[in-house]
Amino acid sequence: MPHLLRITRAQLSAVISHANLCEPEEACGILAGVYADGAAVVKKTYLMENTAHSATFYEMDSREQFQVFDEMRRDGMEPVAIFHSHPHSPAVPSQHDRDLAFYPDSLYLIVSLMNQEPESRVYRIADGKVEEAEMEVVEDVG
């Protein structure tokens, strides 16, 4: 599985806007896409509800999640990344994030809003092990 997430500037700003909108709660969502040229290429961003409405963790609505997975499957896409925000902490996976990383094939994008400038970092979390991955922000994935 690639350790590189390719995302457009517009997609990333949609994710950051969603994070800002949900503040002080954590925001979450799924980045759907395909694997190509050794990268996880984002095609569509699903901005979802954090049903936990918490500032320190997130929980996706299982029905909404089911619909998103159904639509992705129909469109031939994969959940290439799961994203969530950290309103008051760095863009580093929490213990909770490690424990609840149920998608070892997906990358995890964390957007931190703790500083004036939002910080986005990508990780692979598998078997409780965290590895930082890379993110490439492009103008258009085509």
Smaller CB separation from Zn ion, 78 or 97? 97
Chain residues that interact with Zn ion, rule: CB under 5 A: 94, 97
State the nearest-atom distance from the C-beta of 12 to Zn ion, in Å: 18
Please identify which residue in the block is written with the tokens 């979802």.
48
Q: Which residue is nearest to Zn ion (CB)?
A: 97
Residue 9 or 88: which CB sits closer to Zn ion?
88
Place of tokens 């799961």: 82
What distance in Å separates the CA atoms of residue 13 and residue 8, rounded to the nearest whole number? 9
Which residue number, 51 or 94, has a Cβ lying nearer to Zn ion? Answer: 94
Question: How far apart are alpha carbons 23 and 65 in whole angstroms?
Answer: 21
> What is the smallest separation between the CB atom of 86 and Zn ion, expressed in angstroms?
5
Cα 108 to Cα 123: distance, rounded to the nearest angstrom:
5
